[in-house]
Each structure stands twice: as C-alpha cells, then as structure tokens.
C-alpha cells in the first residue's frame, strides 16, 4: 500500500494536470522511483480522481506482474529512470507545446522565467509518436541533458527530483510555449531574440 504522503503527491499532481487541461480525463501518466521499484499510475485510471489503488508498483529492472496493470508507457518511464538522474517522471499533452511542435524544431523561450529555467525546449520526432517503443529509446537521450522534451504531435515528458519538481517543468514549459505562440501571432519582430544571441546554441 502506498504511503499517505506519496499518494498525496500523486493526487495533487494528477488534479493540476487535468485542471490545466494538459491531459484529458484518462490520458497521461505520472510516476516516481522508489529504490528498485517504480510507482506509476494504473492503466486507464483518471488522473484527476486518483485513489491509492490506482498507483501500481512494478520492478525498475525487470517486467513483473505489475506491468499488466500499470500505464502502457511504463517502459518509457523505466528507461528514463535507468538512463537519467530522474526520480519522478510526468507525461502530459501540453497543448501549446504540441502546437509549436508542428511548426518548430525546438521551442525558444522568450519570457524571463523560461530563459532561466529552460532556455530552449527540445522537440523530437518519432516514427510512432504515440507508441512506447520509440519513446523509450529516444526520450531518455534528451532527458539526460534537459528537464523536459516534446514529442512532435504527441506530448511532453518531464523529469524531476520529486513529482512536484517534474510538475513545475510541465507547467513552466507550457507557460513559455503559450507566450511564444501568442507573440508569434502578433507578426511583429521581437525586441530581443535570445535564439540569435551568442552561445545560445550551446545552452
């Protein structure tokens, strides 16, 4: 049985993701690493209305019986934990991040907070964007060096030391994407374009 404080993090995170419309009623998934185990949302559970038995425990290193109940993207989470410093992972369908993924190869942050937190947000393209196999192979490569990545046309994966930390990356990146999108709609040139400044490509 999941402890009360850990479940609280899952429940609050799930509610915020759905209230902000980063996920539909049943989409997306969240997880935490706990020693040699992964705690992850049950397959088909509603993120905004999680109950303690909606959090499934499965082995970090090997597929066990928990895999039958856990999220269909459990393998993506597993590979992120095995190949990065992540202790928590969130997968969401941030609307503005996805919109920009249709027209850009990376999201250049324009706002001060976005520049401080992310500078730029990578976008990757997968042969099968919604399938876990390609994401399990490619997403961890990016999350080694970035806190969040966008899968073109699908959604985002973010890591953190805690679920709340990963949630901040989800919400912060979406805020930056939204501000960039609406700024682009004005059709006016930027007073300051960080992407053209020295060393930006190295960030």
Q: Which pLDDT value is given to residue 1? A: 65
Which residues, given as ranges, of the chain have pLDDT below 50?
none
Phi, psi of 121 (to 5 degrees): -115, 115
Query: How many residues belong to the chain?
Result: 203
As a whole number of angstroms, the distance between CA 135 and CA 154 comes to 11
Q: Which pLDDT value is given to residue 193? A: 79
Burial of residue 1 (number of CB atoms within 10 Å: 0-12, 13-18, 19+): exposed
All structural domains of the chain: 4-190 (3.40.225.10)
Burial letters for 138-170: b for 16+ Cβ neighbours within 10 Å, e otherwise? bbbebbeebbbbbbbebbbbbbbeebebbbbbb
171 Cα distance to chain centroid: 9
Question: 150 has which bridge partners?
Answer: 123, 156
Q: Of 149, 100, 97, 93, nearest to 126 (Cα)?
A: 149
Q: Which pLDDT value is given to residue 202? A: 63
Q: Which pLDDT value is given to residue 66? A: 65
Q: Of 61, 42, 39, 58, nearest to 50 (Cα)?
A: 42
The pTM for the full model equals 0.92
* Two tokens, residue 46: 């509603």
CA neighbours closer than 13 Å in the CB half-sphere of residue 52: 6
DSSP secondary structure, 72-118, as one string: TTHHHHHHHHHHSS-SEEEEE--HHHHHHHTT-SEEE--SHHHHHHT
């Amino acid at each position: 049985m999941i402890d009360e404080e850990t479940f609280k993090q899952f429940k609050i995170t799930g509610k915020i993701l759905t209230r902000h419309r980063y996920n539909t009623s049943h989409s997306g998934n969240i997880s935490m690493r706990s020693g040699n185990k992964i705690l992850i949302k049950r397959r088909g559970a509603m993120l905004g209305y999680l109950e303690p038995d909606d959090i499934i425990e499965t082995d970090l290193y090997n597929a066990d019986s928990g895999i039958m109940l856990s999220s269909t993207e459990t393998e993506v989470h597993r590979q992120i934990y095995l190949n990065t410093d992540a202790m928590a992972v969130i997968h969401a369908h941030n609307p503005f991040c996805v919109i920009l993924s249709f027209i850009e190869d990376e999201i250049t942050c324009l706002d001060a907070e976005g520049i401080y937190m992310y500078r730029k947000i990578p976008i990757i393209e997968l042969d099968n964007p919604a399938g876990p196999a390609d994401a399990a192979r490619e997403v961890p490569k990016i999350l080694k060096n970035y806190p969040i990545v966008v899968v073109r046309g699908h959604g985002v994966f973010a890591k953190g030391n805690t679920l709340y930390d990963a949630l901040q990356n989800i919400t912060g990146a979406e805020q930056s994407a939204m501000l960039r999108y609406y700024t682009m709609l004005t059709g006016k040139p930027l007073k300051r374009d960080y992407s053209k400044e020295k060393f930006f490509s190295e960030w």
